[in-house]
Amino acid sequence: MIRYIIDGHNFIHTVPRYLTLLDRDYPTCLKMVSNDISDYCHSRKIDIFLVFDGNPPWELPRELERITLKFSGKEIDADALILKQAAKWRGRQTIVVTADRKVEREVTSLGCQVISPQEFDRLLKGKRRGRKKKSVDHRSKDKSLSQTEVAWWRGEMEKELQKKKNEE
């Protein structure tokens, strides 16, 4: 089973149809996002952990099929909940939806994959590049490092090389 962890506000702020509604009616926007994601889950074998910052602006539904809807509250932020869930679900079958580079770097170190909010929105709308089938085959996904990961590793290697030079 494939599991998604979605940075809710990050997702909303990159998808124009949600962003325009967000300015007019915040609770309705969040409900629309959770309903769209729930519809996406309906015919697929996936679990979704949808996380928002702050407190819920409406009474949460008791149960959404295969979706866990979480609000971080006042004590911590959504990023901390995302990292906690990524550590719990760690592995290649877990995909984190975010554009936050810090979160991306940390969850990839836990073995999770990362896709952009735009890519996930295309999945929701059913517009996958040239694919006609309903399910997503994550096994054939390119497992090479992203540009962010390459830059991070390059920085780490340069630090180690500098340490070795200083030791000599």
Q: Which residues pair with 97 in a beta bridge?
A: 6, 115
Rounded CA separation 19/17 (Å) = 6
Going by the DSSP 8-state scheme, the letter that residue 112 receives in this structure is -
Rounded CA separation 139/92 (Å) = 9
Kindly report the length of the chain: 168
Strand 113-115, strand 94-97: pairing: parallel
More confident residue, 61 or 66: 66
Using a cut of 0.75, tell me whether the model's pTM lies above it: no
Encode pLDDT of 124-139 as tens digits. 888 444 444 444 455 5
